[in-house]
Amino acid sequence: EMQLLESGGGLVQPGGSLRLSCTASGFIFSNSVMNWVRQAPGKGLEWVSFVTSGGGTTYYTDSVKGRFTISRDNSKNTLYLQMNGLRAEDTALYYCAKGGSFEIWGQGTMVTVSS
């Protein structure tokens, strides 16, 4: 069974940093493009970032460019999102999703940015 498991969320002060992880199982991770998507409390879905299977190409939504970095370690079947300069508006449940059409989603990890 294909699964994704996010971790690394928590409470952080404005301006702080966090690194999220997404561990994959049940499929060949190194063959899959991957995404991060977030959902603020009570709000809709917002695409955040994308990375190709080899990690060589990345895309970001404008609001996180220059602050967030997506990366992956195919030897560990793990996707990352390094988040720096966090703001209150980054507070959300962060999901990783497999594939260009988002066919598999994890359960999410909550990030709260507050003083």
**C-alpha closest to that of 98 among 39, 43, 42, 50:** 50
Instruction: Pick the closer one to another protein by CB: 12 or 48.
Output: 48
Instruction: Pick the closer one to another protein by CB: 27 or 60.
Output: 60
For another protein, the binding residues (CB under 8 A) are 35, 37, 44-47, 50, 59-62, 95, 97, 100-108
Helix (H, G, I), strand (E, B) or coil at 52: coil
Minimal distance, residue 39 CB to another protein, in Å: 8
Minimal distance, residue 63 CB to another protein, in Å: 10
Instruction: Pick the closer one to another protein by CB: 74 or 105.
Output: 105
Helix (H, G, I), strand (E, B) or coil at 63: helix
Minimal distance, residue 75 CB to another protein, in Å: 26
Burial 51-61 (b: 16+ CB within 10 A, else e): beeeeeeeebe
Amino acid in the structure at residue 15? G
The structure tokens listed for 6 are: 């996010």
Instruction: Pick the closer one to another protein by CB: 77 or 109.
Output: 109
